[in-house]
Structure 1
């Protein structure tokens, strides 16, 4: 199965796959950070927006929000969820906007969908161009040097007569600029069991490398990956929240 094909085939199940994600807590946390570090504006773009749950929350607290994704079925669902928003089919490494923005977000580690350093560089440059002075680029990321290949996240959910079991885990072979997100989805009912396995190529980067890429464009603040409190990153854990203010 090609990259992103699973998301296309199962776009109708994406929200079920992410049912354990607290979108409101994530959105509220970044809203608070934007109040602290931002320029006071309320124009917002969500990169890799999927079916639009984060966009929905930002609209509900007063932002003029939009979203982009490379998957049209996802965007179709997002447009139903957020009819007030504008959604566009674009690659986040080379995206363009018609008017400058105050806030750009990229949740759920989706910054890694830039599947190489050159694409990541282009994404950072695109975000910088799209922001107003003092605008903020937010994303969360994982440090390649702290990935545990044996660690998998698993949860199950029921829809009608079907039980879904979702598994996901990072994999990094220890060198280079590529890592992968490995996904497994099992759908079971009284009659059959279906299993989808997929592997998404993603960029592998250390936080030292990432900060060096960001610094020419942004004032960089790194926080613990905790959406309940605002705490500076202690450099121990392998994931973190990046808040980048346009220079």
Structure 2
């Protein structure tokens, strides 16, 4: 199943595999702003309740928010561990493990949502393939909702500052998540370290380094056009605590 470099990262990165169960303890951006924005656009387009594909669903937090608003959601992710968590959170949803760059689902959805995942596509080929596969899942007139990193603001944030967060895993266990991000030739170089301490047990440590590539608005619009989506609205990120994201609605 794993083909692209981004799908390989989804399978290997401890955040998505070994420590997937702590994901929601460390990533706490609110769900409601995103779910509200998607729901309002679908309602305005006369497509509510909608059939939605959540591509790169993670633990299913945002899918659950859309299901609560009456929509039907299918879940896709390249990480088996995250997909399992999402399935438990959204028991009514169909789950599909797939590489977004190679996904070949029928055009059966009123909307496709994809948050953050497209930043993991490093090459032009993978970026074009992923957006093309997402667009190919839409019914005529369907809407594609994206959340991506914006290049300039991402570059400004990538100052090498060490960031540290801690999660309580229960029974006295704690996970300390440390990350450092730097800018290198148009990409974000990310160094992650995971340290788990448990009473009476040896410390557990893991590390993972990977690369992300933010988007410029002209590039984003060009890739969308090449995928048959000629109308795109691009604005600031929705439901994000930092100002380095873009919210995109394309049709």
- TM-score in same-fold range (> 0.5): yes
Q: Which residue number corresponds to residue 242 of structure 1?
A: 248
Q: Which residue number corresponds to residue 85 of structure 1?
A: 93
Find the aligned partners of 1:81 and 1:113 in 2 and give their Cα distance.
25
Residues 1:187 and 2:211 aligned together? no
Count of aligned pairs between the two proteins = 232
Deviation digits for residues 34-57 of structure 1 (CA, Å, limit 9, x no counterpart): 333574550001111122122222
Q: Which residue number corresponds to residue 232 of structure 1?
A: none
* Secondary structure in 2 matching 1:85: coil
Deviation digits for residues 96-151 of structure 1 (CA, Å, limit 9, x no counterpart): 224521111112x2221223221110111112211012211111111233323225
Deviation digits for residues 10-43 of structure 1 (CA, Å, limit 9, x no counterpart): 222222232x221233222222233335745500
Q: Which residue number corresponds to residue 156 of structure 1?
A: 166
Q: Which residue number corresponds to residue 183 of structure 2?
A: 172
Q: How does 1:214-233 map to 2 (within 5 A)?
A: 214-216=224-226, 217-218=228-229, 219-227=231-239
Find the aligned partners of 2:162 and 2:41 in 1 and give their Cα distance.
29
> What's the offset of the Cα at 1:240?
1.4
In structure 2, relative to structure 1, the CA distance for the partners of 1:244 and 1:99 (3 Å cut) is closer
Q: Is the 8 A contact 1:117 1:203 kept in 2?
A: no
5+ residue gaps, structure 1: 229-236
In structure 2, relative to structure 1, the CA distance for the partners of 1:75 and 1:226 (3 Å cut) is closer
- Root mean square deviation of aligned Cα: 2.5
Residues 1:120 and 2:127 aligned together? yes
> What's the offset of the Cα at 1:65?
0.5
5+ residue gaps, structure 2: 1-7
Find the aligned partners of 1:40 and 1:57 in 2 and give their Cα distance.
14
Q: Is the 8 A contact 1:116 1:202 kept in 2?
A: no
In structure 2, relative to structure 1, the CA distance for the partners of 1:238 and 1:78 (3 Å cut) is closer
In structure 2, relative to structure 1, the CA distance for the partners of 1:57 and 1:169 (3 Å cut) is farther
> Which of 151-160 and 129-138 deviates more?
151-160
TM-score normalised over the length of structure 2: 0.81
* Secondary structure in 1 matching 2:158: coil
In structure 2, relative to structure 1, the CA distance for the partners of 1:204 and 1:227 (3 Å cut) is closer
TM-score normalised over the length of structure 1: 0.82
In structure 2, relative to structure 1, the CA distance for the partners of 1:185 and 1:53 (3 Å cut) is same
> Which of 149-158 and 48-57 deviates more?
149-158
Find the aligned partners of 2:110 and 2:103 in 1 and give their Cα distance.
16
